A and B are shown apart, each in its own frame.
Chain A
């Protein structure tokens, strides 16, 4: 009997209408950049050029900040919370209406599988806007004092791993609290932010409330260093986060930083084994491992090491790597050539340091940026692949013998964004959660997100919280 080979099931690209070039979104309109060179954004799955995008220079950023300031003072700041909520609800509904288009666009520009952009990213984007829309007229109950005030203009810089979702995490609470924003999407994934600019127009959002300036590091620097920005919010690498913290030191800007991670996913011998394997896979291979809170360090109790590894490898054999737009793809493309080079370099270092490298047999497409799902065993705390954020589909497996040793190893990192615990023992979950120095601790699950739940890090994973009531507080002066 023949095998059950899944035929290609590509999601149609016809639903998206990508323009050949995009300007900056400033003061409610798309405008040409005045002092930057245009750059190209490509589909990482095929290296096909999708569009040409403007680079905002300091003068362009200045225009955007001025527009945001004016909108804050004249329109958005004075507006009643319930009226701001109407705009946010409208945006949320438009995102739902255009969900399929946004999912396809996100998968094209970012390389993530359509199953994830369709079932995770975009629904969460809409959920964030709905959630914070509900807060807009209830700010005095947010625990930020009796009469909380917005900061003013928020300068926001977001990464390429969840382009539209990170935009939602930044823009929804900022607008609900009464701030106006200038947001810079990552240079490799600007398209959904520009589609969001169109949605702002569609929603009749007053000009200047949301401004999108595209560009790379130079643009981001101009934005966070702009003297008229009151609040800086950044998600990205620890290195850039550190530079931002330096640049705003001595100013009266408020800052939140959501940076890197090297999360421990801790498996005890009494774990629900089959769901644990799913959790390990979801923890590290979700979004190609381009997740700051990825469970990139697997800590397995020695007594179940062989069984966990055996089952994990068997499960990895079934992962489908390939065309992000195919509805059956589990792992898509690495976002950029630069990131691929970084992953390759660290994987090589892992081998050189003596860890054993394993990947299931999988054919990678010839074009585009690809890396197979990979497991390193025989890794110790001293190895670089156990310490540095790889930001790719690469799992380092370590072992422990006792709960105390698990805690010690899990916390022995400069990061502290997230952690996972797998055990059927409730008391151990609570004890572990108290010991782990990580902003999010998942129990018997991993990479679960919800707009009502705060998210953020310890130590070099940053400061401030996004999501929930805590995320709102970051946009209120009190």
Chain B
């Protein structure tokens, strides 16, 4: 991998043809599965206490993309979620706001209205989420709809079928097209790592998405198991770190799905801190796609401040 002053030019070259792109992606250093999982396990043993825990809990809350992506979603459900996003803990005004609310495109307008003036972004999934199995025209229109309704951030899915069959150019072009359709909206590219399966694929897909102009790379839709895991996120953090070294650009990372406890969230923050580095400990560069995680963070936050756990009934279910 080229990591010099001329890194930007060299990387522009690799996307000049499908053949070059393919050779570049296949030439990335491999990921040893055992080693990557062992590293993630070691990082999980960090013990985060007292002041460090208080910092981590508040940071994690600010990094949440509070998400509802169900067929049964309604404007009422989204309004409730937005209320929660603005004031996560009804009993404690010092609890920070979350980063964004993440919904399907048809509910973007509702969320946008509810969150006006709060600084909380509206993120919309798009591109025939979650499978991505639709024509490019539909995906582009889906994205444009979301943006027209006011989405600040677009979470697109890649075509995993194309990726797994080695048609990297197709995946690349599709991301480029969505990038363009999304306009000024922040683009998060969902790799759906549960379907890519190997860490080598995760690393290649991460680079592919970054080269195509992703602002964020995101693990999962939450509709496929396994969703986010710590080793997958580790590999993606290594990719953004290396991309930064090559280009000077900061790309964000968003693990999504399956992160439910404050303890888990803290493991991710430790991994961010010791892999990509402190620059990434910022909602601009790291997000959690989650819903139930928020209540556990709030509960642990209250425990840390008061010394005792309030019951779960003291936190709102939205």
Q: Which residues of A contact B (CB under 8 A)?
A: 1-9, 115, 119, 270-276, 278-279, 307, 310, 318, 327-328, 424, 444-445
Residues in chain A near residue B235, CB distance under 8 A: 274
The verdict on B94 contacting chain A, using a C-beta distance below 8 Å, is no
22 examples of A-B residue contacts, CB within 8 angstroms: A4-B56, A5-B52, A6-B46, A6-B48, A7-B48, A9-B48, A115-B42, A119-B45, A272-B29, A272-B31, A272-B35, A274-B36, A274-B39, A274-B238, A275-B31, A278-B35, A307-B3, A318-B274, A327-B46, A327-B47, A328-B47, A445-B35
> B55, A2: Cβ atoms under 8 Å?
yes
Partner of A7, one of B42, B45, B53, B59: B53
> A444, B32: Cβ atoms under 8 Å?
yes
The verdict on B273 contacting chain A, using a C-beta distance below 8 Å, is yes
> B51, A1: Cβ atoms under 8 Å?
no
Q: Given contacts A275-B35, A278-B39, are A9 and B273 in contact (CB under 8 A)?
A: no
Q: Once the chains are docked, how many angstroms separate the CA of A21 from the CA of B186?
A: 67
> B281, A424: Cβ atoms under 8 Å?
no
Partner of A272, one of B30, B38, B47, B51: B30
Q: Which residues of B contact A (CB under 8 A)?
A: 1, 3, 29-32, 34-36, 38-39, 42, 45-53, 55-56, 59, 235, 238, 269-270, 273-274, 278, 281-282
| B36: nearest chain-A partner, CB-CB | A275
B58 to chain A, nearest CB (A): 10
Q: For chain A, what secondary structure do more than half of its interface residues adopt (helix, strand, loop), or is it mixed?
A: loop
Q: Given contacts A4-B281, A270-B30, are A328 and B36 in contact (CB under 8 A)?
A: no
Q: Once the chains are docked, how many angstroms separate the CA of A115 from the CA of B44?
A: 11
Seed contacts A9-B48, A275-B32; 14 additional CB < 8 Å A-B pairs = A3-B278, A4-B56, A6-B48, A7-B50, A9-B49, A119-B45, A271-B30, A272-B35, A275-B31, A275-B36, A278-B39, A318-B274, A328-B47, A424-B30
| A422: nearest chain-B partner, CB-CB | B32
Residues in chain A near residue B278, CB distance under 8 A: 3-4
Residues in chain A near residue B238, CB distance under 8 A: 274
Q: Once the chains are docked, how many angstroms separate the CA of A307 from the CA of B42?
A: 24
Q: Once the chains are docked, how many angstroms separate the CA of A163 from the CA of B238?
A: 37
| A446: nearest chain-B partner, CB-CB | B35
Q: Once the chains are docked, how many angstroms separate the CA of A444 from the CA of B30?
A: 11
Q: Once the chains are docked, how many angstroms separate the CA of A4 from the CA of B42?
A: 18
> B52, A115: Cβ atoms under 8 Å?
no
Residues in chain B near residue A273, CB distance under 8 A: 29
Q: Once the chains are docked, how many angstroms separate the CA of A119 from the CA of B45?
A: 9
Q: Once the chains are docked, how many angstroms separate the CA of A4 from the CA of B45?
A: 16
> B52, A7: Cβ atoms under 8 Å?
yes
> A4, B273: Cβ atoms under 8 Å?
yes
Q: Once the chains are docked, how many angstroms separate the CA of A205 from the CA of B235?
A: 50
B204 to chain A, nearest CB (A): 14
> B34, A444: Cβ atoms under 8 Å?
yes
B149 to chain A, nearest CB (A): 31
Q: Once the chains are docked, how many angstroms separate the CA of A6 from the CA of B278?
A: 12
| A271: nearest chain-B partner, CB-CB | B29
